[in-house]
Structure 1
Amino acid sequence: MNSLGTIVSVNGPVVRARAMRTFGMREMVRVGKLNLWGEIIRMEGEEALIQVFEDTQGLHLGEPVIGTGRSLSVELGPGLVGKIFDGIGRPLDTLFELEGAMLSRGVKTVMVNRDSMWDFTPLVEVGETVSGGMLLGAVQETPLLEHKILVPPNVEGEITFVHQGGTISASDIVATIKDPYGNTVDVPVVQVWPVRKPRPYRERLLPNEPLVTGQRIIDGLFPIARGGVAAIPGGFGTGKTVTQHQLAKWSDAHLVVYIGCGERGNEMTQVLEEFPQLKDPRSGRPLMERTILIANTSNMPVAAREASIYTGITIAEYFRDMGYHVALMADSTSRWAEALREISGRLEEVPAEEGFPAYLPTRLAEFYERAGRVITLGGNEGSITIIGAVSPPGGDFTEPVTRNTKRFIRCFWALDKSLAGARHFPAINWLESYSEYAREVEDWFAAHVDPKWGEYRDRVRELLAEDEKIQQVIRLVGEDVLPDEQKLIAFTAFLLKNGYLQQSAFSDDAYSPPEKGFAILDLILHFYEKASELVKRGVPLSLIRGGKPVLEITHIRERTSEEITNEISGLKKELDAFLDKVGSERKATRGRG
């Protein structure tokens, strides 16, 4: 029999109920006659405080609160990929079929359609001994993703029944396991897991393999490791959402979980319209065949926004346990933190800095620490890479959410409003950004891209840092007073910014594999070394930088990855011929003098 309480106060999304002693902390409840979904977040003797995931308008005192006996959980099984869910895991297409465009409150639905049919292939036999995380069988969920049915983490024993294969429905039993105590456990196709409880794994691995993103400034200067955590902070209009879209589209993750957490509805609409039309760069298949979307926009209930982060990370952990590399995009954690602040205010908790709750750092840590590259319970390698956008008011990186986020992440891609204003995208500031993974993934890049990757990265960062000092002088007294050596550094930095760091999201250059980026870097640094020798010999920089092959350097990035090798090889020969000609002509002129 379900527990029954009574509403005694309603304060926005927070409801206080009495006669709640038999309820449990974090238990899901149905609130009022509308059966709104809620979660108990505080127990005070006979009373409980409930955060309601739907609009509480119209609730009355004295209405019932009914317990469900379970915590906020998600259904995990085939049928998740390619779908769009709200913050508490309800599929939006199903809600639309049930209610139309204007959704009613209190709608009860399932994440995975029980009528769905799949072609199941068993991978174990009766009599085998299995333990949590081991593989029972698989279904081909999409052409890009094989969905693996696993033994639940807390189950082990001997298989006494296994589905023989062929067509299977989402409501079927895959296997029956007899545990060491003689109890039998049925393993269904669809399993349930509480979202606030991390799924277990066997061992955490070092983050020494990169998540290749196809964005040159990231892969070349500020790489992120598989299983790593990164933040993209930036003010309004700096390109946070577009950058995350790029990472979702082009990163070499097996699966992308994209959480639209509190962002504007038109931005989420853009995602919903774009993703079904996009092609996966490696397979040519629709990108949605390896994408799951969580949509909880700014006009949706604030409590569900707080839950959406946990819904997304739990789904990501489920696919990680299958041995997949998952990329999770959270856009944005600032809006999530604002939801925490609003609920905390309704609870009348003592506020910390700027009104945020004192437990904000703890909640951020709980979220980011669920990332990682691991050995799963089944013995496979899987990872979750978390990339969270942060929206500091006015672009102030010292505000609490950005500052506390920096405590728990190791990769910081700082977006710059001045770069965005100059139409330089991605607007990642190369001086304020950093990656602590660079040294850990250097061996991988050396083995798979070029042994000089680390050396080139250091050299580029040095040139950009020197250029910043030179630009300060130029702003004060102009460029004419500088010696040619410094002018050359400034000009090389110009080539780096426009020929390498800049990358349009709406052109054929939107995806740039590391090999292409390194080839461009090699060309620019080759020019710098050759030009430095000429400048040291007294050749004026004005004779060097005006040549057609030099100007062509900034356009080479527009070539496709297939063309780039031959194009750069040809351009390098033209560049060498031009610079040799300038040097010999200058030498001849001096000889006649």
Structure 2
Amino acid sequence: MSTGKIIRVAGPLVEAEGIPGAKMFDVVRVGHERLIGEIIELRGDVASIQVYEDTSMIGPGAPVVSTGLPLSVELGPGLISSIYDGIQRPLDVLALQGNRLARGIEVPGLPRDKKWRFTPRLAVGNEVEPGDILGVVKENIVVEHRIMVPPGVKGKIAKIEEGEFAVDETIAVIETEAGPRELTMMQRWPVRRARPYREKLAPDRIMTTGQRIIDTFFPIARGGTAAIPGPFGSGKTVVQHQLAKWADADIIVYVGCGERGNEMTDVLNEFPQLRDPRTGEDLMKRTVLVANTSDMPVAAREASIYTGITIAEYFRDMGYNVAIMADSTSRWAEALREISGRLEEMPGEEGYPAYLGSRLAEFYERAGRTRCLGQDGREGSITAIGAVSPPGGDLSEPVTQNTLRVVKVYWGLDSALAYRRHFPAINWLLSYSLYNERLDEYFRTEIGEEWVNLRRRAMRILQQEAELEEIVRLVGVDALSPRDQLTMEVARSIREDYLHQNAFHEIDTYTSLNKQLALLRLVLTFADVGLALLEKGMDIQKILALTIRERIAQAKYIPEDKTEEFTRLQTDLEQLAKDTELAGEVL
């Protein structure tokens, strides 16, 4: 370790000189309280240090000690169900110090006093390479933690033991060309460097979310990227909570990056009480939380997003499908802007640093579906979903625009929909998914050709409604032809009976793809029935007054296992088109 001294303090930015061998992104300890910081700029003998804690009462002359190592996270058993701050300090341990985090506390990311049962999968004499699974630890009833050979280690197993070990105890010895290498269950990895993989694969499989507007109209592929921009109060956090609860992912990494404390409190209170629909266990048993709220130091906010994506990459390397939620990247970008300003860098648009776009791209590019390192050829994926909080809902601001250049799915939230209590408040006319065409083949194979046709038809009806609304505003709905009036009513049914979803309803909160197909089929079959009855001379008002419409509206509350209810309702609808007299009887 090398020591220098502080020459200037400007909030979370500290300048120090005389640190021998200082390198970019080295971690340093600042002041007598040993606050953690990171070197982010070098000018000759002067190092600019981003400090991740409050720098009050620290002034020129205080010591700075370099560790010579980059900011890294500890990866191993104990990650699942943990709650960390932005630099991987476990908040449940820090909470024992009081309501406010004390400065300078050094707590390891993984507990050293807990023993884990390690079961080898390989034996002495086996040749191993980076990514090979040495053995497994049953971290909990849901997650099997796979202990892998670290990157850069290749050779023959000279020793491997079964038993109970702490994460820093030796479980195996590998004979490498450089000599014997002792391996533990823990790896350290620098957060700003992506973990290696063998090959990146095409994102051609859907990550189901159970949210009808997303899965049907704007799906996201496994290994894909999505953004949720929207003004204050439009439901960004609600959508991300829903995705964290119901997304078809093995592991969830939720990064609360600079949002208000009460939003993270909701996560901390809700998740331990929620039942995972995949396993029936607590949702926290497959979740890692990184909680860095708006009242924590701004510099740690900037690091939290890298901490989260590195943890996600580690589980991806085991062969898991991981979903990472970043709430929100706007707060992370604001931290970049503040640090950049203190470094006196040339500002870009609206004061953000000129490299904002490249930093966002670096984050989202670490998502993807990959063939992992290791001889077994396993696959894993990271699906990255970032909320964006543009000031005043202005989607032309730099963070939103730079994000949309990178991501493939745009779920645009609309405050007008939110004020009408339509959730999720995703605007179907503004949003898009660039995975639609790629995923159409998946839907045709797994769900059926009908899915793609129904989706396209439903979107056409919603677009027609938007065009007809201009006429309705001018001359009223009665001026429309009966056919157009039917179109307006079918569009309303799509919006209210299909796209509107109650996150707090036991049944409506999640909808499988098969149930989504059944619901959409019902709505569009009613459109066909209405056209058939119009052609037979029935008055449009009588068609719109059919009591079966109420049954269609209530169909989303039918449990998933009651498939016979959907079949009966579909049969009744089709019978109406054939029998005009029956249609009159059910008025």
TM-score range, shorter chain: over 0.9
Superposed displacement of residue 316, structure 1: 0.3
2:449 partner SS = coil
Give the aligned partner of residue 174 of structure 1.
171
1:223 paired to 2:219 = yes
Q: What does residue range 439-454 of structure 1 map to in structure 2 within 5 Å?
A: 439-454=437-452
The CA distance in 2 between the partners of 1:107 and 1:54, in whole Å, is 10
Q: Is the alpha carbon distance of 1:453 and 1:577 closer, same or farther for their aligned partners in structure 2, counting shifts above 3 Å?
A: closer
Superposed displacement of residue 398, structure 1: 1.0
Total equivalences in the alignment: 581
Q: Contact 2:130–2:148 at 8 Å: present in 1 too? A: yes
The CA distance in 1 between the partners of 2:19 and 2:271, in whole Å, is 45
Give the aligned partner of residue 330 of structure 1.
326
Superposed structure 1 runs of 4+ greater than 6 Å apart: 583-586
Q: Contact 1:544–1:582 at 8 Å: present in 2 too? A: no
1:57 partner SS = coil
Give the aligned partner of residue 558 of structure 1.
557
**Residue 408 of structure 2, aligned match among 407, 410, 422:** 410
The CA distance in 1 between the partners of 2:247 and 2:281, in whole Å, is 15
The residue identity in structure 2 corresponding to 1:57 is S
Q: Contact 2:19–2:66 at 8 Å: present in 1 too? A: no
The CA distance in 1 between the partners of 2:147 and 2:107, in whole Å, is 22
The residue identity in structure 1 corresponding to 2:505 is S
Q: Contact 2:529–2:573 at 8 Å: present in 1 too? A: no
1:218 partner SS = helix
Q: Contact 2:525–2:573 at 8 Å: present in 1 too? A: no
**Deviation readout 1:26-60 (Å, 9 max, x if unpaired):** 00000111111100000000101000000111111
2:171 partner SS = strand
Per the normalisation by structure 1, the TM-score is 0.96
Give 5+ residue unaligned stretches, structure 2.
Answer: none
Q: Contact 1:544–1:579 at 8 Å: present in 2 too? A: no
Per the normalisation by structure 2, the TM-score is 0.97
Give the aligned partner of residue 43 of structure 1.
42
2:158 partner SS = strand
Give the aligned partner of residue 465 of structure 2.
467
Q: What does residue range 508-587 of structure 1 map to in structure 2 within 5 Å?
A: 508=506, 509-563=508-562, 565-582=563-580
Give the aligned partner of residue 428 of structure 2.
430
1:49 partner SS = strand
Give the aligned partner of residue 159 of structure 2.
161
Superposed displacement of residue 109, structure 1: 0.8
Give 5+ residue unaligned stretches, structure 1.
Answer: 587-593
1:263 paired to 2:262 = no
The CA distance in 2 between the partners of 1:419 and 1:191, in whole Å, is 46
1:344 paired to 2:333 = no
1:507 partner SS = coil
**Residue 251 of structure 1, aligned match among 244, 247, 252:** 247
**Deviation readout 1:310-369 (Å, 9 max, x if unpaired):** 000000000000000000000000000011011111111111111111000000000000
Superposed displacement of residue 585, structure 1: 7.8
The CA distance in 2 between the partners of 1:252 and 1:60, in whole Å, is 50
**Residue 108 of structure 1, aligned match among 106, 109, 119:** 106
Superposed displacement of residue 420, structure 1: 0.3
**Deviation readout 1:264-295 (Å, 9 max, x if unpaired):** 00000010000000000021100000000000
1:314 partner SS = helix
1:562 partner SS = coil
Q: Is the alpha carbon distance of 1:154 and 1:398 closer, same or farther for their aligned partners in structure 2, counting shifts above 3 Å?
A: same
Give the aligned partner of residue 352 of structure 2.
356
The CA distance in 1 between the partners of 2:100 and 2:339, in whole Å, is 25
The CA distance in 1 between the partners of 2:537 and 2:355, in whole Å, is 62
1:225 partner SS = coil
Q: Which has the larger displacement, 362-371 or 391-400? A: 391-400
1:30 paired to 2:26 = no
Q: Is the alpha carbon distance of 1:574 and 1:452 closer, same or farther for their aligned partners in structure 2, counting shifts above 3 Å?
A: closer
The CA distance in 1 between the partners of 2:540 and 2:172, in whole Å, is 75
The residue identity in structure 2 corresponding to 1:131 is E
Q: Contact 2:525–2:574 at 8 Å: present in 1 too? A: no
1:186 paired to 2:182 = yes
Q: Contact 2:114–2:166 at 8 Å: present in 1 too? A: yes
**Deviation readout 1:541-589 (Å, 9 max, x if unpaired):** 11111011022211111111112x2222222233334444446889xxx
Q: Contact 2:414–2:426 at 8 Å: present in 1 too? A: yes
1:571 partner SS = helix
Superposed displacement of residue 540, structure 1: 2.1
The residue identity in structure 1 corresponding to 2:166 is S
1:167 partner SS = strand
Superposed displacement of residue 101, structure 1: 2.0
1:209 partner SS = coil
Superposed displacement of residue 427, structure 1: 0.4
1:532 partner SS = helix
Q: Which has the larger displacement, 182-191 or 248-257? A: 182-191
The CA distance in 1 between the partners of 2:363 and 2:70, in whole Å, is 18
Q: Contact 2:261–2:293 at 8 Å: present in 1 too? A: yes
